[in-house]
Amino acid sequence: MFTTPPKTKLTFEEYLTYDDGTDNRYELEDGELILMNPPTGRHALIIRLLNNSFETEISRLNLSWASLQMLGVRTAPRRSRLPDLCVLPLEILQACLDVPAVIESGALLAVEIVSPDSIKRDYRFKRAEYASFGIPEYWIVDPIEQKITILLLVEGLYEETVYRGDDPIQSQTFPELILTVNQILQG
């Protein structure tokens, strides 16, 4: 059964408890619910490959971190995003074990995979929000343009490097990770 999201603007606290009786996932943008469409098969394979790669590196380096999907990131008083992947210290996750999993600090890396309906949101809005939230590294994986943009936070703003084809990705969070753009985009 599909329920239309409310027309009134929600507070962040109302967003945390919002339930329309469906499995729909929403981001909160200035108090409005933004429906997140289900991923394509390619999108899901890219998430799987990156999540497995990140978890392998976390385990190999014996870090107390996790790479998670469906974790919310509060980026402003009335904004919350759902990055495709988010890497964070396990101690940050402890605060939301039994409550809605929306963190308010401490993310180390966020990944968004671009879809036709998320281009502006991923490249512009989330870029600004993740920078203001203080996420040190933000990946924009773009299967449409066949590129990956890695943004590193420097003095409060992101500096970007664009990778294509067989370019090896250079990650500040996972400096020994060896993946090319083609490998990632093929999932």
d(CA 164, CA 161): 10
CATH of domain 39-186: 3.90.1570.10
Q: From first to last of its 187 residues, what are the pLDDT tens digits of the chain? A: 344 555 678 998 899 889 888 888 898 999 999 988 888 889 999 999 999 999 999 999 999 999 999 889 999 888 899 999 999 999 998 887 777 788 888 999 999 999 988 899 999 999 999 999 999 999 999 999 999 999 999 999 999 999 999 999 999 999 999 999 999 999 8
d(CA 13, CA 93): 18
Domains in the chain: boundaries: 39-186
Q: What is the pTM of this model?
A: 0.90
d(CA 54, CA 49): 9
